[in-house]
Amino acid sequence: MLRNLLRLHSRVGHALSPPIVCPRSQALKLPLPLLSVNSKYYSIITERKKFYDDVSISHGEGGMFEINLDQRKLKTPGGKLFTAPNEALAIAVANEWDTQKDTLKFYSMHMTTLCNTALDNPTFRSKDQIITAALKYLETDTIWYIINVYRVEEPPSLVELQNNEWDPVLNWIEERYNVVIGSSTNILGPEIPQATMDTFRQHLGSYNFWSLTGLEYVITQLKSVVLAFALIDKHVTVEQAVLLSRLEEEFQIGHWGNVEWAHDVDLYELRARTAAGALFVHFSSESSTVKRKLMQD
């Protein structure tokens, strides 16, 4: 699944959250403040003429891996030396820089963006603060929240679609984590039991800071804790998670049509961001060496 995620991210790697990552040795002065992993953090510079020919990976201190652009070491927007905790993540980042053409499209470099956020931590958040922010999405989770109402009661065809597509995922997560969530047609939504919140908080707390950064990113893309957990646990694919997060929108498009190119761009961008986030979580959770052959398959 990781290889498929990597290919998907590489194939549709363009998105709305542009990073501003360039070596300080290139004398590019990037204004701070830098705010967060979302577009506010990476909205200053979106493109730049390519200034290097070769991309390589080297071993750094403490078992970390560094990215080299020609003979220059990559740095973060905050001026730190860019380092990845394992070879797999370093390869993914190097691949983003290596596949850029004449113009660097920073907004397509999601793995670089996430690494920068983990390294710089621009908003100085602790793990507990990230977990609290992520769990807020549980209260208005996409999988039961539709345009300010929960589990719409009409039209019947949409209700049937939601029941058929969402309920199996809800049932899975309740069984997988031994929690109770439920669904609701009440505008106030389901009341999430404190025990469920505590279980999810404990689960999120088991991730290291890097993995948690990626998981929060996936949650914000899908606007769903449930779908993010299902994706990271490999219960659903990226394509399935994205489709489930857009269920009502896709239903309306099926009935009323859409501007085809706009729909496709939005869909591919969301897939790219979600795939990158899932890859980041898995790579940040693993310490094993990944051979470069993975990038050549």
- Identify the structural domains of the chain with CATH numbers, from first to last: 2-120 (3.30.2180.10), 127-296 (1.10.3580.10)
Position 292 scores a pLDDT of 45
pLDDT of residue 160: 80
For 205-247, write each residue's pLDDT tens digit. 999 999 999 999 999 999 999 999 999 999 999 999 999 999 8
Check whether 266 has a pLDDT greater than 60: yes
| Per-residue pLDDT, 202 | 97
Mean pLDDT of the region 76-81 = 96
Q: Residue 126: its pLDDT value, please?
A: 98
More confident residue, 110 or 157: 110
Average pLDDT, the chain: 80
pLDDT band at 139 (very low <50, low <70, confident <90, very high): confident
Q: Considering only 18-22, 49-53, 73-77, 143-147, which range has the smallest mean pLDDT?
A: 18-22
Q: Of 14, 15, 16, 41, whose CA–CA distance to 30 is shortest?
A: 41
Which has more pLDDT, 296 or 64? 64
Q: Answer whether 245's CB lies under 8 Å from 224's CB.
A: yes
pLDDT attached to residue 38: 42
Per residue in 89-132, pLDDT (tens digit) is 999 999 999 999 999 999 999 999 999 999 999 999 999 999 99
Per-residue pLDDT at 205 = 97
How would residue 191 be classed by pLDDT, with cut points 50, 70 and 90? confident
pLDDT band at 34 (very low <50, low <70, confident <90, very high): very low
**What integer pLDDT is reported at residue 182 of this predicted model?**
61
What pLDDT is attached to residue 12?
A: 42
